Amino acid sequence: MHTAADLATLIDRHAAHDGPLLPILHDVQAVFGCISPAAEAQIARALNLSRAEVHGVVSFYHDFTATPDPRPCVELCRAEACQARGVDALVDAAEAAAGERVRLKAVYCLGLCSVGPAARVGDALHARLDAASLARLVQSA
């Protein structure tokens, strides 16, 4: 369990830089798995911002979440280039493979647009996916 002291350490790491809020939020999201209302309040106090300002930033960006999701996450690119390579036809099978156990998240472009359909699990990238290889990827996530 992470404490207010852990959070203070993360904040201190960036507080002296110009524009420290996003780097702090990235660290908090990575360590805590989310940015809770309590964390928002503590960050706001440390940076002399209002809670509303911090909440506004947290809620604006797709990468930050208010509650943790402990499930493994498979990010599947659904943007135009992967659409042109047939990703839409793979989604039903991937969803079936994911069930409730795996979070299947749509992202818009992983920069692998010439070898799609593409997906990302953590920092590992996967390309040239078909229904079978995507289902295997989801099952092994």
Partner 1 sequence: MTTVRISDDSLALACGADAVAAAFVDAGWTVERASSWGMHWLEPLVEITGIGWGPVTVGRVADIIAGGAEDLCIGPIAAHPFLAGQHRLTFARAGKARPLSLEDYAASGGWSGLDRALSLVPATVVEEVTASGLRGRGGAGFPAGIKWKTVAGAPGARKFVVCNADEGDSGTFADRMLMEGDPFQLIEGMAIAAHAVGAEQGYIYVRSEYPHAVAKLRRAVDLAASRIAPFAIEVRLGAGAYVCGEETSLLNSIEGKRGEVRAKPPLPALQGLFGCPTVVNNVLTLAAIPHILSAGGASRYDSLGIDRSKGTMPIQLAGNIKHGGLYETAFGVTLNALIYDVGGGTASGRPVKAVQVGGPLGAYIPPAQFDLPFDYEAYAAAGALIGHGGVVVFDDSADMGAQARFAMQFCAAESCGKCTPCRIGSTRGVELIDRIRTGGGTAVDAVEALPQMRNAGKAGRSRDEDLALLEDLCEAMELGSLCALGGFTPYPVRSALRHWPDDFGPP
CB 36 within 8 A of CB 66: yes
Cβ nearer to partner 1, comparing 83 with 103: 83
CB 98 within 8 A of CB 60: no
Indicate the residue type of 75.
Answer: E
CB of 71 to partner 1, least distance (A): 18
Tell me which of 17, 45, 101, 136 binds partner 1, using CB under 8 A: 17
CA dihedral sign of residues 42, 43, 46, 50: negative
Q: One symbol per residue from 97 to 116: x for binding partner 1 (CB under 8 A), - otherwise; what is it?
A: ----------xxxxxxxxxx
Q: Where are the alpha helices (DSSP H) in 2-141?
A: 4-15, 21-32, 37-47, 51-60, 80-84, 91-98, 131-140
56 binds partner 1 (CB under 8 A): yes
**Count of residues near partner 1 by CB under 8 A:** 42
The contact set with partner 1 (CB under 8 A) reads 17-23, 25-26, 47, 56-57, 60-64, 79-85, 107-116, 118, 120, 123-128
